[in-house]
Amino acid sequence: MSTLNLDLSNYRDLLKQYIRTQDETALYQAEQFSKLSMQQNISPEEIINVHIQALQDLYPDLPEGIESSMNFLLEAMISYGLAYQEFQSLREKQLALKSEISVAANMQQTLLTTVKPEVEGLDIGAISVPANQMNGDYHHFVQNNQNTLGIAIADVIGKGIPAALAMSMIKYSMDSFPENRMDPCTILESLNRVVERNVDPSMFITMFYGLYKPETSKFYYSSAGHEPGFYYNAREDKFEEIEARGIVLGVTRDTEYQQYEKTIHPEDMIILLTDGVTECRQGDRFIESEEVLDVIKTYMHLPAQQLVDQVYKHFERLQDFHLRDDFTLIILRKQV
Amino acid sequence: MEFQSCVNINKEWDIVGARQIGRDFARKIGFGTVDQARIATAISELARNIYLYAGTGKICFETIEEIDHKGICIIAIDNGPGIAEISKVMEDGYSTSGGLGAGLPGVKRLMDDFDIVSEQEKGTEIRAVKWVR
């Protein structure tokens, strides 16, 4: 089929062909014509105008009523044409915004980047995927010279850009704490003061901080209202919730956080997560936390990183590849 | 300044009068059907703005003639509250028309040149020009 021209004679010929034959080919070409018109920003009223002129060419003795009715139609289309142009310009704006956000998201990635450390006797897996472009979850590994491993996992209630901004602040506060004061409760207490001073009261941040000391196999932890993680006891082949009480960050200035400890045995696992994992939804139904554990169990034979990747893939698929909340899952397994 | 033709806007019905005079004006200058319709729509928007936000005002028309082309200038004048943030009003999707694609950005699209001078508590003057193609 020849390429269409957006001119009157072409339209007139098409119209003539259609009136004569009622042929689907002509209709198909009319469809092409309208697409081409949109590409070239031709508004609907211009098409109607072309139609009127073609009609006048084909039927010089058009009844007057028909002609006026066509003018009436043209007038009625003007606002549609305007709305279409506005839509075009908003679409361009949206593209610009999108690319601006993706620059910000890249920057956030660089800012919040954390290296999964190598700790002797510990197999570590971590995954964090934002629901939108910017991540409101945060996890960070801190390895200091005494060979201890600090793990922070946090979640801003809410997602998107405000959450991401708050997270950058948390990260930089943590970086500025002295290395000799890395007790989980101390860290949460310091962060609580930072958040209380700097973040809008309507924004809540939950956080779990754990510290693992390889030489004693002890895990110390505190929680600021964070989604409870799980502990896998290998000897009994049982999961239990990691219980830790504590109020979310930033509510009152001088909050004190309780610190807990646990001895980790070979093959045991510590599972830390955000509510994006436990509040996955299948249709309208929230999943049960047992389901998360079942999935973990299914892939438990794999190395920790593959394990968390598979769990993510499972829930990504369960939710039709559309995350509703930022998803962060960290698993530590003590090796034999 | 003396305008060639003016319509006072006091009630909604006056919008129709302004459209009518503007359309006749445009036809005489030599605009085609589509452009006449666009000019009438622009006049509607300007007149409705006066009616809704300023209460009263007027819409005036002028023929402009330059060596090689002719055009129409629509001038909308009111002594209303003025527009505080013109750039906001000119933003797509901002207009109170509820995203119906009109408002002042719509007028700007319908015409070739567009200019607003507005002072708060004093009023607004909008000039919009369209050239015969």
What domains can you pick out in chain A, each with its CATH number? 8-93 (1.10.1240.30), 112-334 (3.60.40.10)
- Which of B92, B102, B110 lies nearest to residue A90, judging by beta carbons? B92
Q: Left, alpha or beta for A250 (phi > 0: left; psi -120 to 50: alpha)?
A: left
Q: What is the ipTM of this complex?
A: 0.82
Give contacts of B93 with chain A, Cβ < 8 Å: 86, 90
Token pair in block for residue A23: 């042929």
Average pLDDT of the segment spanning A239-262: 93
Between residues B117 and B98, which one has the greater pLDDT? B117
Token pair in block for residue B33: 């059907």
- Bridge partners of B2, per DSSP, are none
Q: Count the Cβ atoms, other than its own, within 10 Å of residue A55.
A: 17
Distances (CA, A) of A98 to A143, A200, B100: 36, 26, 24
Residue A1, pLDDT above cutoff 50? no
Which residue is listed with tokens 């949460």?
A188
Distance CA A1, CA A327 (A): 51
pLDDT at res. A138: 87
Token pair in block for residue A102: 């993706």
3-state DSSP assignment of residue B51: helix
Between residues B29 and A156, which one has the greater pLDDT? B29
Interface contact B109-A45, CB threshold 8 A: no
- Which of A75, A80, A85 lies nearest to residue B109, judging by beta carbons? A85
B5-131: CATH topology: Heat Shock Protein 90 (3.30.565)
Residue of chain B with shortest Cα separation from A90: B92
Residue of chain B with shortest Cα separation from A47: B34
Task: Kindly state whether B33 is in contact with chain A, defined as any CB-CB distance less than 8 angstroms.
Answer: yes
Token pair in block for residue A56: 């006048």
pLDDT at res. A275: 83
Amino acid identity of residue A41, one-letter, is N
Beta strands in A66-186 (DSSP E): 122-129, 137-143, 149-156
Distance CA A20, CA A154 (A): 71
Distances (CA, A) of B58 to A193, A250, B39, B43, B125: 61, 58, 16, 11, 10
Distance CA A38, CA A44 (A): 9
Distance CA B109, CA A310 (A): 53
Between residues A157 and B132, which one has the greater pLDDT? B132
Greatest mean pLDDT among A18-27, A97-106, B37-46, B79-88 lies in B37-46
Give Cα B129 to chain centroid, integer Å.
9
Task: Give the closest-approach CA distance of B121 to chain A in angstroms.
Answer: 30
How many pairs of residues across A and B have Cβ atoms under 8 Å apart?
50
Sheet with A238-241: list strands edge to edge: A122-129, A327-334, A269-273, A230-233, A238-241
pLDDT at res. A5: 56
Question: How is chain B split into domains, by residue range?
Answer: 5-131
Give contacts of A52 with chain B, Cβ < 8 Å: 33
Residue of chain A with shortest Cα separation from B38: A78
Distance CA B69, CA A320 (A): 60
Task: Give the closest-approach CA distance of B57 to chain A in angstroms.
Answer: 24
pLDDT at res. A39: 85
- pTM, full prediction: 0.68
User: A148 falls in which pLDDT band (50, 70, 90)?
Assistant: confident
Interface contact A74-B37, CB threshold 8 A: yes
Average pLDDT of the segment spanning A98-123: 87
Give contacts of B33 with chain A, Cβ < 8 Å: 49, 52, 71, 74
Quick one: B63 exposed, middle or buried, by C-beta within 10 A (0-12, 13-18, 19+)? Answer: middle
pLDDT at res. A259: 96
Distance CA A229, CA A227 (A): 6
Task: Give the closest-approach CA distance of B6 to chain A in angstroms.
Answer: 23
Average pLDDT of the segment spanning A58-69: 91
Contact A139, A153 (CB under 8 A): yes
Task: Kindly state whether A93 is in contact with chain B, defined as any CB-CB distance less than 8 angstroms.
Answer: yes
3-state DSSP assignment of residue B35: helix
Contact B76, B57 (CB under 8 A): yes
